Amino acid sequence: MARQFFVGGNFKMNGTKESVAQIIANLNSEELPSQVEVVIAPPAPYLGLAVAENKQKTVAISAQNVFDKASGAYTGEISPAQVKDLGATWTLTGHSERRTIIKESDEFVADKTKFALEQGLSVILCIGETLEERKANVTLDVCARQLDAASKIIKDWTNIVVAYEPVWAIGTGLAATPEDAQETHKGIRAHLAKTIGEEQAAAVRILYGGSVNGKNAKEFKDKADVDGFLVGGASLKPEFVDIIKSRL
């Protein structure tokens, strides 16, 4: 099955009005490949700015997180409706930094993912293991557990993109080899086939999210189950365009 190449850019807690506008201006100035879907996730205060500045038809705007309620006394949270009100159409859920720092559980991530989908957002659902878990050879067990929390309550995965993030490779400069990533992605897809059905599993795009940059992105080009990337630090730099064009 041909799956559309997908590149996500997670700005994390980085940027100002000026720098976010400059990043988007750089994307606007490029002739981006029409067959690549691009989603960028600036910090929440700049979602409206990003929507207004973006002129590329193949680029969409994402929140980095949402809550599982529509509104109410939830100080500091952002609802899917508010994300949509600003013109963004995607959200991340379950990023490793929220799982480890904010202590979000698999079940809470699944609830937020389900609610975001119900409210009309598409979701990049992040999963992945720590260095300790990798050393213990439980990578696929961890990924399966995180996915199962979602598959128990979500039946339609049409608007979900899965991002596999080896936590040990985020911001460290370390990266799994393309072969390692392919092996893990293949295992993730095989597990999804058992839980959400072979047809849906074959259609779900699985992104690699561990220290991808403009130099190493092309090394993943021929990996059948690596359908794109979720990029962190490199999404703040001009080389983000090289990653978007890495399948050409």
**173 pLDDT tier (thresholds 50, 70, 90):** low
Residues designated as active site = 95, 165
52-89: pLDDT as tens digits: 999 999 999 999 999 999 999 999 999 999 999 999 99
Write the single-letter amino acid at 4: Q
Residue 26 neighbours by CB distance under 10 Å: 13
Mean pLDDT score across all residues of the chain: 95
Determine contact, residues 58/37, Cβ cutoff 8 Å.
yes
| CATH fold group of domain 36-41+59-67+76-235 | TIM Barrel (3.20.20)
Determine contact, residues 85/47, Cβ cutoff 8 Å.
no
181-204: pLDDT as tens digits: 999 999 999 999 999 999 999 999
Determine contact, residues 234/192, Cβ cutoff 8 Å.
no
- What integer is the mean pLDDT of 89-105? 97
